[in-house]
């Protein structure tokens, strides 16, 4: 053994002091390797739809209902099964409702707790006792463990009856039901993968983030809507302006003002001061021909004020970064303010509005003193939002640009390509061109640098700017389009200017050889799957989520209400159990209240993607590889003990 090996084993000796202790741990780890792998759930493009997402989380994409049906199909009516499901999903609220209805008494408690224990047993059969114990709420853990061990032995019948009677007499039945329900929810999903875009469009992405940061095992692959919020938390001016534009555009200020405590009063002041006489036609929250109410008109003014601020800040950013190749997106200096036209690609287009009270034609990208003051105040609002900063830090610690997990490759958008299908360079450096995995690794590092580098440093500013590029750059792996034609849609009626061309990656999405090449680029075998989202699957137009000969799965099924008319469903969950890989297609979620009061579950249809040739064990997973390395280390320690290189410790 080398000196370094011995030093490592000396450290390991502190945990396993004898041959017997090390050998016992080896036996334990080798046994774990033969357990079935835990069930992974994959969701994408949540877009702030917190009520639907939380329900899918509570019902485990329909898995809990299936387990109850398997367990009680011959014993309980459909209504009784639905009521038990709803109790597991929403135990506090359902208990309160049932008490009001006079349903709850001691016998109901006994029967319900017994049924929940049975469901809990069913969900825990493939876990170690330690894993099951970790899922138990601490206060009720000892009692739950005893009840789970009840195998019907007559000798202990009185013992278990006494436990149940004590639970009732001490008025802990509600706490026991809530604890068991939460435990079932924890056990039924071993690991949750979010394939990007938690933020924007829907009402409360912050509530989704609250749930994710408290989830037992979760990872997040950043989407372009996530990265722009992360950039805003990092104090990027362009990202802050973009977040505000998107929030105002969708009339969704609740996330900013209520969720994150960010005041938009500075923007309101700017809008009223500079745009009070502007009709702001292109910026109205809805265009239905009706006269706008004053609060809607205020939103329109705020929208335009934020958009003009954004175009200025983007122009400044792009001047700093010619390597982005986006000089054509600096548009304000292309406007002829007197004639109200703009020149794009050598062609003139009339502007829908020529009112730009804050733009100086001689220096169109300069902020006015009032705009500068507003921007400085907004930076402080975003920087001092404790909840936003906590959520951003969670996304950094639990997330990244991509993830290789159990042989599969997870990323939100695309791997940028050129027309010939080669990996395209991503401008992660002013001097160096990187493609493929190397470029995406560098992009991940730059995004972290933009948040964690020293304030005021060039590294911090470059990272902040690159987060904006990841939001909308032409070779951004999170965006995947030639441009974001926001200005054109606001100000130019000619729709030929609104075109956004998808990256060539999407032309190769059905090519199995390309999918295998991407897997190989990330060190994965051709038997793995690529799992991504970003572009809604248009089922209504005959599109399939299964592409590239089954190697690529697009799981954006339209959880966001804005996309449901296009997709025809309301989201996908990809479920990877030890037996199979399957897609679960969800129908729209009515409401939390109807789910509790009327037991209206989301209707979900499961379709197999691939049945495993044999049951997948922990030995076949990333966890298994880590356990195998741990076993090798312990065997080396045992050898060192037996050969006298290291002596056992009896202290």
pLDDT (tens digit per residue) in 554-590: 999 888 887 888 888 888 999 999 999 999 999 988 8
352-378: average pLDDT: 96
47-61: average pLDDT: 94
Query: What value does the mean pLDDT of the chain take?
Result: 93
52-73: average pLDDT: 94
536-547: average pLDDT: 88
Contacts (Cβ under 8 Å, ≥6 apart) of 498: 485, 488, 489, 492
481-492: average pLDDT: 95
d(CA 67, CA 613): 23
pLDDT score recorded for residue 651: 63
- The string over 293-303, giving b where at least 16 C-beta atoms fall within 10 Å of a residue's C-beta and e elsewhere, is eeeebbbbbbb
pLDDT score recorded for residue 384: 97
**Phi (first) and psi of residue 399, to 5 degrees:** -130, -175
**Phi (first) and psi of residue 412, to 5 degrees:** -80, -55
28-43: average pLDDT: 96
**Residue 287: band (very low, low, confident or very high) from pLDDT cuts 50, 70, 90:** very low
209-223: average pLDDT: 97
**Residue 250: band (very low, low, confident or very high) from pLDDT cuts 50, 70, 90:** confident
HSE of 381, CA atoms in CB hemisphere, 13 A: 23
Q: Is the pLDDT of residue 122 over 80?
A: yes
Q: Is the pLDDT of residue 290 over 60?
A: no
Q: Is the pLDDT of residue 61 over 50?
A: yes
Evaluate whether 320 touches 327 at the Cβ level (below 8 Å): no
| pLDDT, tens only, 403-444 | 999 999 999 999 999 999 999 999 998 888 899 999 999 999
pLDDT score recorded for residue 600: 85
Q: Which helix (DSSP H) or strand (DSSP E) does residue 552 occupy?
A: strand 552-554
* Other residues' Cβ atoms within 10 Å of the Cβ of residue 215: 16
539-552: average pLDDT: 91
Express as a percent the part of the chain with pLDDT over 90.
Answer: 82
For helices 50-59 and 78-89, the axis angle rounded to 10 degrees is 110
* Other residues' Cβ atoms within 10 Å of the Cβ of residue 314: 25
d(CA 123, CA 479): 39
Sign of the alpha-carbon torsion through 501, 502, 504, 509: negative
pLDDT score recorded for residue 567: 86
| pLDDT, tens only, 141-199 | 889 999 998 888 888 889 999 999 999 999 999 999 999 999 999 999 999 999 999 99
Please write down the long-range contacts of 431-437, taking CB distance under 8 Å and 24 or more positions apart: 436/521, 437/521, 437/522
State in Å, rounded, how far the first CA of the chain is from the last one. Answer: 25
Q: Is the pLDDT of residue 381 over 50?
A: yes
Q: Which helix (DSSP H) or strand (DSSP E) does residue 225 occupy?
A: helix 224-233
d(CA 109, CA 548): 52
Pairing of strands 347-350, 341-344: antiparallel
Q: Is the pLDDT of residue 458 over 90?
A: yes
Helix (H, G, I), strand (E, B) or coil at 465: helix
**Phi (first) and psi of residue 190, to 5 degrees:** -75, -40
**Phi (first) and psi of residue 268, to 5 degrees:** -60, -40
pLDDT score recorded for residue 288: 37
pLDDT score recorded for residue 650: 76
Pairing of strands 546-547, 530-532: unpaired
HSE of 449, CA atoms in CB hemisphere, 13 A: 17
Integer angstrom CA distances of residue 129 from 88, 124, 148, 149:
22, 9, 11, 11
* Other residues' Cβ atoms within 10 Å of the Cβ of residue 339: 11
d(CA 284, CA 490): 10
Helical H runs in 455-494? 458-472, 486-491
Contacts (Cβ under 8 Å, ≥6 apart) of 486: 245, 307, 310
**Residue 286: band (very low, low, confident or very high) from pLDDT cuts 50, 70, 90:** low
**Phi (first) and psi of residue 192, to 5 degrees:** -110, 130
Evaluate whether 515 touches 549 at the Cβ level (below 8 Å): yes
| pLDDT, tens only, 293-334 | 557 889 999 999 999 999 999 999 999 999 999 999 999 999
Give which of 190, 303, 208, 203 is closest to 257, Cα–Cα: 203
d(CA 411, CA 1): 41
Please write down the long-range contacts of 399-402, taking CB distance under 8 Å and 24 or more positions apart: 399/219, 399/220, 399/221, 399/222, 399/226, 400/219, 400/221, 400/222, 400/444, 401/221, 401/222, 401/440, 401/441, 401/443, 401/444, 401/447, 401/477, 401/478, 402/221, 402/440, 402/444, 402/522
pLDDT score recorded for residue 397: 97
Integer angstrom CA distances of residue 62 from 1, 200, 393, 492, 613:
53, 26, 31, 46, 24
- The string over 136-162, giving b where at least 16 C-beta atoms fall within 10 Å of a residue's C-beta and e elsewhere, is beeebbebbeebbeeeeeeeeeeebee
pLDDT score recorded for residue 281: 86
The pTM (predicted TM-score) of the whole model is: 0.94
Evaluate whether 305 touches 336 at the Cβ level (below 8 Å): no
d(CA 258, CA 261): 5
Contacts (Cβ under 8 Å, ≥6 apart) of 67: 119, 122, 123, 188
| pLDDT, tens only, 365-376 | 999 999 999 999
């Amino acid at each position: 053994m080398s000196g370094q090996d011995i030093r490592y084993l000396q450290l390991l000796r502190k945990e396993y002091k004898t041959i017997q202790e090390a050998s016992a741990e080896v036996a334990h780890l080798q046994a774990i390797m033969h357990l079935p792998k835990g069930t992974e759930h994959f969701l994408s493009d949540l877009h702030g739809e917190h009520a639907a997402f939380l329900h899918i989380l509570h019902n485990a994409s329909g898995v809990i209902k299936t387990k109850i049906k398997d367990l009680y199909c011959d014993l309980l009516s459909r209504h009784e099964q639905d009521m038990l499901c709803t109790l597991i999903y929403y135990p506090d609220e359902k208990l309160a409702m049932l008490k009001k209805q006079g349903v709850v008494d001691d016998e109901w408690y006994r029967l319900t707790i017994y049924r929940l224990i049975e469901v809990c047993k069913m969900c825990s059969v493939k876990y170690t006792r330690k894993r099951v114990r970790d899922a138990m709420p601490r206060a009720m853990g000892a009692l739950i463990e005893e009840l789970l061990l009840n195998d019907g032995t007559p000798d202990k019948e009185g013992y278990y009856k006494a436990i149940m009677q004590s639970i009732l007499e001490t008025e802990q039945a509600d706490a026991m039901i809530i604890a068991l329900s939460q435990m079932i929810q924890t056990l039924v999903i071993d690991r949750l993968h979010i394939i990007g875009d938690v933020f924007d469009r829907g009402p409360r992405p912050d509530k989704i983030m609250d749930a994710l940061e408290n989830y037992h095992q979760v990872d997040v692959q950043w989407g372009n809507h996530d990265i722009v919020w992360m950039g805003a938390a990092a104090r990027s001016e362009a990202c802050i302006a973009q977040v505000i534009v998107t929030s105002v555009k969708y009339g969704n200020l609740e996330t900013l003002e209520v969720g994150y405590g960010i005041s938009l009063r500075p923007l309101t002041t700017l809008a009223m001061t500079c745009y009070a006489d502007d009709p702001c036609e292109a910026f109205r929250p809805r265009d239905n021909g009706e006269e706008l109410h004053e609060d809607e008109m205020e939103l329109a003014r705020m929208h335009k004020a934020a958009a003009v601020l954004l175009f200025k800040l983007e122009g400044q950013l792009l001047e700093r970064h010619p390597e982005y190749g986006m000089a054509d997106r600096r548009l304000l200096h292309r406007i002829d303010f007197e004639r109200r036209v703009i020149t794009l690609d050598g062609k003139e287009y009339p502007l829908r509005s020529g009112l730009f009270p804050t733009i100086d034609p001689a220096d169109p990208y300069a902020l006015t003193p009032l705009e500068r003051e507003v921007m400085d105040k907004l930076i402080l609002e975003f920087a001092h939002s404790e909840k936003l900063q906590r959520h951003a830090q969670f996304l950094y610690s639990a997330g990244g640009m991509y993830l290789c997990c159990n042989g599969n490759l997870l990323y939100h958008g695309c791997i940028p390509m050129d027309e010939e299908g080669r990996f395209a360079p991503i401008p992660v450096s002013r001097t160096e061109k990187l493609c493929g995995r190397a470029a995406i690794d560098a992009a991940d590092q730059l995004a972290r640098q933009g948040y964690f580098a020293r304030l005021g440093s060039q590294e911090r500013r470059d990272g902040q700017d690159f987060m904006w590029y990841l939001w909308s750059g032409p070779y951004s792996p999170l965006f995947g389009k030639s441009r974001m034609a926001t200005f054109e849609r606001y100000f130019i009626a000619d729709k030929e200017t609104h075109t956004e061309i998808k990256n060539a990656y999407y032309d190769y999405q059905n090519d199995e050889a390309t999918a295998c090449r991407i897997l190989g680029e990330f060190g994965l075998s051709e038997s793995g799957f690529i799992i991504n989202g970003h572009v809604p699957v248009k089922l209504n137009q005959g599109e399939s989520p299964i592409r590239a000969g089954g190697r690529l799965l697009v799981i954006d099924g339209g959880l966001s209400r804005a996309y449901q008319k296009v997709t025809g469903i309301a989201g996908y969950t990809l479920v990877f159990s030890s037996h199979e890989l399957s897609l679960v297609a969800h129908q729209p979620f009515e409401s939390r209240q109807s789910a509790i009061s009327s037991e209206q579950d989301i209707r979900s249809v499961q379709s197999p993607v691939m049945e495993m040739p044999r049951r997948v064990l922990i030995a076949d997973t990333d966890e298994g590889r880590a356990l195998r390395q741990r076993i090798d280390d312990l065997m080396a320690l045992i050898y060192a003990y037996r050969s006298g290189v290291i002596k056992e410790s009896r202290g």
